[in-house]
A = this chain, B = another copy of it.
Amino acid sequence: MDRFVSTFTNKIDAKGRVSVPAPFRAVLERDGYAGGIYCYPSLDAPALDAGGERLAQKIDGLLAGLPDYSDERDELSVALYGDVQVIAIDGDGRIVLPQSLRGHAGLQSEVTFVGLGDKFQMWAPERFDERRRVAREKVQEHRKLLGRQPPRSDGGDGESE
């Protein structure tokens, strides 16, 4: 399997380090790990997007269609490359997130890693919970609209920890 799946929550230690979940590291290596992960603020969420070479190539692909030295390319470059940080993974599988990135995602003491297939996101756990809660509500609404009662056996939201 070479996609990022599942969620994991790890701690940020006193030096600002976080362990990248082992399954994600495995994916990164199969992806052709080249010294660091590519990480940037998510465009539409208070989170960070990250990935390996495949993600980098995707970014390159976006720019490849634009002519050199066009205004458009320069602007896109700033947004795509300029925001990207290459973050090294140390021998123990940990990364250190720069302050600028931490700020965007509101990361403090813990990080929730969320697999999204060809990339993964990093969230502050509280914010991710909130987002997931909203997402589930929307799913419920959809079901009602479809006329099917969701099998609510009891109040169990599955939030067993």
Q: Which A residues are closer than 8 A to B by beta carbons?
A: 1, 4-7, 23, 34-36, 38, 42-45, 58, 60, 62-63, 68-69, 71, 74-86, 114-117, 121, 128, 131-132, 134-136, 138-140, 142-143, 146, 152-156, 158-161
Q: Jot down 26 A-B pairs with beta carbons below 8 A, ordered by A.
A: A1-B86, A5-B81, A5-B86, A5-B158, A6-B159, A7-B82, A7-B156, A45-B74, A62-B146, A75-B134, A75-B135, A76-B138, A76-B142, A79-B135, A79-B139, A80-B139, A81-B114, A81-B115, A81-B116, A82-B116, A82-B132, A131-B155, A135-B154, A138-B153, A139-B153, A139-B154
Smallest Cβ distance from A152 to chain B, in angstroms? 7
Smallest Cβ distance from A118 to chain B, in angstroms? 8
A45 to B74, CA, bound (A): 9
Instruction: Report if A34-B1 is in contact (Cβ < 8 Å); known contacts: A6-B160, A156-B7.
Output: yes
